[in-house]
Each structure stands twice: as structure tokens, then as C-alpha cells.
Chain A
Amino acid sequence: MSIFNRNSKRTIVKIDEFIDNIDLGILVFREGIKSYIKGDMEAFSTHLGKVDQLEAIADRLQREIENEMITYSILPQHREDVVKLIEELDEIMDGIKSSMYEFDIEIPQIPSSLGEIMINLNESSANAAEELLPAVRAYFRAPHTVREKLLKVYYFESETDKIAYRIKRKIFHEMHEIDLAHKAHLRYIIHHLEKISDLAQTGADLLSAMAVKLII
């Protein structure tokens, strides 16, 4: 049986490697944004470089997984779904990279009164993405547990929305000391941080439907 499974095992290793890569990307994102808000630009630059590397590896793995699944006819019935899911996960990685680059290019000024709540927003958004990954792993081994694992993704996504709403409201209703351009810029940056949890939710919706297909 080992001869028949050689290609399958290689693909499994690559999928696991891909998920690990996304996991690491989320961690680096969390730490990178935290360093920026705290003003540690050296650490931020190191994290930015790391995200760049991880994104390149994720792209390569994504392509290899797709190629192998087609070439060796792996999971023919669920291939489209799995490929789509991997694309959604890669979108999260792309989102992480683009958010960090926005910080690097635009150098947004985060008022000190918003520091703590911005870190909370970032944590919550990163948590949503992080909670998606155990559910993705469970899809391959225990699909009946996927939906309960996804509950945390939806919880953190909704928390992120609430925090983002609170911050935006504070900026536009209470912080009269900063000008409108600065406010608009902050809103734009918040939107970027928030986007990671939205991408996680899109992935969760797809995964949830995929799990139902497997169970029934």
C-alpha cells in the first residue's frame, strides 16, 4: 500500500506545511503590529521580512499542492473545495502581508490613547484567523468536529467588528484634537486589521459547507 500512498503522503505533508506556514504568519502578524504600536520599529522590520518569506513559501506550496492533486488525481471529488480552501487561507496570508506593508509605507500615527485598544483589535482579528486552522486540520481527520471548532472563528470575528466599531466611534466622536485626514487614515488602518478576521470568516463559511458534504 505504501507505493500507492507515496504521492498522497507527500501532498498531506505539503498541506500540513502550508497550514503551519499560515499559523506562523498569523503569529508574526500579531507580534509585528504590536511592535509597531509600541514603537519598536526594528522588531517590526524583522517581522515584516519574515512575513515576506512566509508568504513566498505559502505561494509555492499552494501551487505544488494544486499541481499534485491534479496530476495524481488526489481527492477527485473534493479537490475543487480543497483547492478553494487553500486559496482562502492564502488570501489570509496575502492580507497579513499587505496590512503590514501598509503600516511600513504609510507609517500611520497611532495616538497613545488608542494603543491598547488597537492591540486588542489586532489580537482579536488574529485570533479569528488562528482558530480557523484547527478546523482546517480537523476537516481531513474528523470532519464531524469541524463546525464546533468554527464557532470560535465566528465569535472572534464578531468581537473584532465590535472593537473596530468602538475605535472608529471614539476617533470620530471623541478625539477632536486630531484632524479629519488623520481620522480617515486611522479608519483605513483599522479596516486593514479588521480584514484578517473577515477573510477568516469567508474561509470558515466555505469549510463549514465542505464539512457538511463529507458528513452526509
Chain B
Amino acid sequence: MILFFLTSGLFLGWSLGANDASNVFASAVGSKMITFRRAAIIASLFVILGAVIQGAGASGTLGKLGSVNAIGGSFTVALAAAITVYMMTRLSLPVSTTQAIVGAIIGWNLFTGNRTDASTLTKIVTTWISGPVLGAIFAILLYMLIRRIKRKSGIHLIIFESYIKTGLIIVGAFGAYSLGANNIANVMGVFVPAFSLDDLNLGIFSLSSAQQLFLLGGLAIAAGILTYSKKVMETVGTGIISLSSEAALVVVLAQALVLFIFSSSSLSDLLVKAGLPRIPLVPVSSSQVIVGSVIGIGLYKGAGNINFRILGEIATGWISTPVIAGVLSFFSLFFVKNIFNIDIGTKVVETGLAETVSKPWNVSEVMKYVILAVIAAGIITVVYFYLLERKKKSEFRRSEQRFWKYIK
């Protein structure tokens, strides 16, 4: 039953993998610099790593917005967000998982009579605007820098493109890591206060309860990337604007930097030590940062390149997505509580922390086997594709040799 409640979060994770995570490598795949297969494998691996290693930061902020303290509530909130994302994607409306989950949590707060922390909400909403703006600023600066280096260095085009290709892989991995770290809060954040698992000791490292949840969410995102992101990557990569290879690198790097900034607690602490204001650790929408970065490049090239319709759609999404998710969450909670008689959570006592209600003992054991199976499947897949590539290359070499032999 406990695992059943997690399915809504996993569904949300899958859709995040299929839509938002695709953005990381979309420009690289769309510009044909990297094959989809390679991009999907790198993105999946680093999203999981980012989620497990650094996922706690942004998830804490969502917890402050509304500490959903019953597994039934977490299920309903995640489901409302997932349905909103799914519906809006089907209607081809711009959607952000972040905004959907925030709206759904506010719906839970309203239903259970909990107070929505105004300062946390302000912090989150501010980053929805500052995220794309920062993305645009980073994109302009990086694009100027990269163009200058290219022109001054007189580097051979083929060598330059090979550096860009290597750069896209490294930056894409960083982008996927940052996305996992920042956006895992959307997928599993609502389950953290309501879920308690034993620490999972795997010999060389151990995973806390939250990290195990993040690992599951990361796997769901990875599944979304591997199964459904190909079309999205190809559409986003060529749909918004036809990007040059260096612009593709700049867009991915700008997005990765913005997501990293809004999820790195160590960077935030460093700024505080230096006497600067703390960075809010908030999940931001990767799609909107990407659009911000692309607009930044458009601005640099001339204002005529900017698509103001997309800007308008983003602004509409800021309002419509949380409102729809909030309303859906409110009514779903009503049905789940009154018709199915499932506990969806209670009003949190102001002084204390959220009460943890679920403690499934056997889930940690299951997790151990899941991790082992995923590692084994990963190794087998990598070896299989490596051997397949080798076979193709040697066949091609042989056919070339035959060709020249006949010519002679």
C-alpha cells in the first residue's frame, strides 16, 4: 500500500523526465552534436546522482511551504500536480512541474487549514522570475565570451566543434546533475515529511530515508528520459530556435548554472560567510530557464529575434499552472478524505516539526534490490552498446577495404 501511494510521485517524476529533463540535452540533440542514446544515458545517470547527493536543499523549501504529513495527502498532492502537468502538456500549454507542485501544496494547506508561509511563497515566486532572467544574463555573457574566444584564437572549425561536443557532454552531465538536485523536490518533496525509512547501508555509502525517496524519484525521472524524451528533445532542440553549436552549449551551461545556484546549500553558505544575502534554495523550472537563455541569445543578436508570444505564454503559465493544480489538489483531497476515508494529513502544530506517520519496514530491503538491479542493468546496457558500436565499425571497415580492393 505504501508503495502504491508513491506511484503518483513516480508518475510526476516520469513526466518531469520526459518533459523538463529533455531540455538539458535538447539543444545538443537537436543540433545533432550528440546522439539521443548517449544523451539519454548521461542525463539519466546524472539526474539520479544529483537527486541523491544534493536533493535535500530545494526539498527543504517546499517542506516549509507546506509540510504534507500523511502519505495519503502526499499521494493526492503529487497526483494533482502530475495530472495538471499531463493535461497542460496535452493541450500544448507551457507548463512547469515546479509551479504545479507549489499550487498543489497550497491546495493541501487550504484544505487542511494550514497556513501558507508567505515569505517562503514569495521566495519561490521570485525565483520563477529571477530564474529565466538569470538564465538570459548568463547566456548573453557566456555567448559573448565564447564568440570572442573563437574569433581571437583562430582555432580550426573542426577542433572547435569537437571541443564544443565534449563541452556539451560535460555541461549536459552537470545540467542533468543540477536538474536532479533542484527538481527532485517537485517529485518527492511532498513525500519526505510523511515517509520514514531505515538508513540503507550499502557498504561504501549509506542512504538516508529522504535519499532513498530521492533515488526512487531519480529512477522515475530516468525512466521518463529513456522512454519518452526523444521526441521532446528533437522538438525543443529545433522548435524554439535553430541553435548553432556554441549557442547550444551556452544554453545548457546557463541552465545548469541557474539550477545549481538555486539548489547548492554550500554555495549559499559561502555567500552568507562572505556577508552576502543567502540564495533561496528553491526548485525552479528548467523549461523556463532554457527559454530565458534562448531569449538572452536572441537579445544579443538583436531584439527582432525575440518571440514575445512565448514570453506571454510563460507569464500566463505562472498564474494558470499553480491555480489549476491548487484547485485540483483541493477537490481531490476532499474526495480522497470523504469518499475513500484515507488520511490526507492534519493541521501542523506551529511549534513542532511535521509528524511522520508512515514507517514501512520492508521498503529499505526492496530498495537495496532495486539499486543492485539498476546497477546491473546499467552495466549490461553500457557493455551491450559498446560491443554493438565496435561490431558496426569493424563491419564498416571491412566493407571499405572490399570497396578499394574492387576499385583497384
| Interface residues of A, Cβ cutoff 8 Å to B | 1, 4-5, 8-9, 11-12, 15, 60, 67, 71, 73-78, 139-144, 214
Main secondary structure of the interface of B (DSSP, over half): helix
Contacts of A141 in B (CB 8 A): 154-157
With contact pairs A1-B166, A67-B400, A144-B151 given, residues A75 and B161 touching in the complex (Cβ less than 8 Å) = yes
With the chains together, A73 CA to B159 CA distance in Å? 12
Please tell me if the beta carbons of B159 and A5 are within 8 angstroms of each other in the complex: yes
Within 8 A of A (CB), among B107-160: 151, 154-159
Tell me if B381 counts as interface (CB < 8 A to partner A). Answer: no
A142 to B404, CA, bound (A): 35
Chain B nearest CB: distance from A206 CB in Å? 16
Task: For the complex, give the distance between the alpha carbons of A11 and B159 in Å.
Answer: 10
**Contact (Cβ within 8 A) A11 B158:** yes
Q: Which of A15, A60, A76, A142 has the most CB of B within 10 A?
A: A76
Closest Cβ neighbor of B243 among chain A residues: A77
Asked if B393 is at the interface of the complex by the 8 Å CB criterion, the answer is yes
Are A77 and B245 CB-contacts (below 8 A) given A4-B166, A8-B162, A144-B151? yes
**Alpha-carbon distance between A73 and B38 when the two chains are bound, in angstroms:** 13
A174 to B244, CA, bound (A): 58
Bound-complex Cα distance A71 to B390 (A): 12
> Is the Cβ of B31 less than 8 Å from the Cβ of A77?
yes
A142 to B157, CA, bound (A): 9
Q: Quick check: B31 and A75 within 8 Å, CB to CB? A: no
Q: Give B341-384 as 1s and 0s: 1 = Cβ < 8 Å from A's Cβ atoms.
A: 00000000000000000000000000000000000000000000
Residues of A within 8 A of B393 (CB): 71
- Whether A5 and B396, one on each chain, are in contact in the complex, defined by CB atoms closer than 8 angstroms, is no
Q: Does B35 sit within 8 A of A, measured CB to CB?
A: yes
**Given A5-B162, A71-B396, A77-B245, residue A140 in contact with residue B157 (CB < 8 A):** yes
Instruction: Please give, as numbers and ranges, the residues of chain A lying within 8 Å of B33 by CB-CB distance.
Output: 73, 76-77
B166-194 Cβ-contact flags toward A at 8 Å (1 or 0): 10000000000000000000000000000
Check if B64 is an interface residue, CB within 8 A of chain A. Answer: no
Partner of B158, one of A71, A74, A143, A214: A74
Tell whether, in the assembled complex, residue B244 and residue A77 are in contact, meaning their CB atoms are under 8 Å apart.
Answer: yes
CB–CB A74/B154 < 8 A = no
Given A67-B400, A73-B35, also A78-B159 (CB < 8 A)? no
